[in-house]
Amino acid sequence: MKILVAPNCFKESLTSIEVARHIGIGLRRASKKYSVVEVPLADGGTGTTRIITTIFDGDYTECPVTGPMGDPVTGVYGSIPSQRVAIIELAQAAGLSLVHPSKRNPMISSTRGVGQMLMHALSRGYRKFIIGIGDSATIDCGSGALFELGIRFLDCSGNAIEPSCSGLMQLRSIDTTALDARIAKARLTIASDVKNVLTGRYGAIVYAKQKGARSRDMPVIRRALRNFKKVILEQFGTDLDTIPGSGAAGGIGGAFVALLKAQIVSGFGLVQEFVRLEEEVATSDIVITGEGRIDEESMYGKTLKRVVDMAYIHKKPVILIAGSITRSTILKKKYNILACYSLLRTGRSKKRAIEDAGSLLERIAYEIGRNIREQA
């Protein structure tokens, strides 16, 4: 029996590679007769670099960068030397996981480290980039990253503003004359499945609170986003609210499209092609997938739902595993979902479940493996 294990990451706990490995351990412990195939997934967020780099037997490079709150961190990016491609994750330099929940503040957090990683890769000769922008702690419209690449963001007096969300309130013009010529000629592919535009009710503001925004910050963030949109439209003729995904990662997606001529593609689509997911689903007997939290949103275009849809097309039964599953989630029979498992059902608190996620996944997978064996 072939069991396909194809999860997304459990945010702020385990990468999708770690999740798949722990589930695989539990299944193999239940029966040595199972053919367990681990295919970790990503959608442009955490894990994207490692998955793509591993598939192409690429290299990893460490470089010191500025973290989202200004502290030094070590960023890691992947590369495929034969194709001169570098794979960069925003989360490595400006991700939520780099900031303690009590210190998150999207008013001042910055993507400067992302620009520093790009500059480091440029210095090593890379001119093609895949940039995953999921799991960000920022709403600076990429101004921090672009600042590191040579772009200057100016106020009404021609002075440089702080490249942050609060700084964007004073933005009046953008000077691109000092943009690094190497990045100007590079090819940038943005991997993201977030379709939000920059402004409006469903713009980048949607993710502000999970990045630490307080209620009193929300009106300021809205004005900053609208101001950035206004300057881009007036100076470069690009209406960011007409570009799906321009609000991704606090606006960096749209900024890179407008100022660096980047292309936004589906992060899941990119990864699933590399790992040949559909081929693996079609040849499996059971598909196990999951993510940190399964809720109503999981059933609308997220990685988990797309795996479920693919399994449904190929008439493969699915088992879901998550850190938590909300009661409001409606799991319709039409999706052929055999069972759902939550790490929180073990009675542990959320904090303990996150800390013990690896061992809990192995225990649940062992239980799943025993059930499958008994019902076979």
CB 309 within 8 A of CB 279: no
CB 271 within 8 A of CB 52: yes
CB 203 within 8 A of CB 144: no
CA dist 10 and 33 (Å) reads 28
CATH of domain 2-41+276-375: 3.40.50.10350
Q: Which fold has domain 48-267?
A: Glycerate kinase, domain 2 (3.90.1510)
CB 6 within 8 A of CB 288: yes
Buried b / exposed e along 172-206 (16+ C-beta atoms within 10 A): bebeeeebbebbeebebbbbbbbebbbbbeebbbe
CA dist 375 and 231 (Å) reads 62
One DSSP character per residue, 200-254 reads STTSGGGGTGGGT--GGGHHHHHHHHHHHHHHHHHHH---GGGSTTTTGGGGHHH
CB atoms within 10 A of CB 351: 8
The reported pTM is 0.89
CB 190 within 8 A of CB 145: no
Q: Which residues contact 35 (CB under 8 A, 6 or more apart)?
A: 1, 2, 3
Q: Where are the domains of the chain?
A: 2-41+276-375, 48-267
Buried b / exposed e along 69-93 (16+ C-beta atoms within 10 A): beeebebbbbbbeeeebbbbbbbbb
H or E stretch covering 3: strand 2-5
Print pLDDT tens along the chain (376 aa): 999 999 999 887 899 999 999 999 999 999 999 999 999 999 888 889 999 999 999 999 999 999 999 999 999 999 999 899 999 999 999 999 999 999 999 999 999 999 999 999 999 999 999 999 999 999 999 999 999 999 999 999 999 999 999 999 999 999 999 999 999 999 999 999 989 999 999 999 999 999 999 999 999 999 999 999 999 999 999 999 999 999 999 999 999 999 999 999 999 999 999 999 999 999 999 999 999 888 766 665 678 889 999 999 999 999 999 988 875 455 555 677 888 898 987 667 878 888 889 999 999 999 999 998 887 6
CA dist 123 and 63 (Å) reads 12
SS percent in the chain: helix, strand, coil, step 5: 45, 20, 35
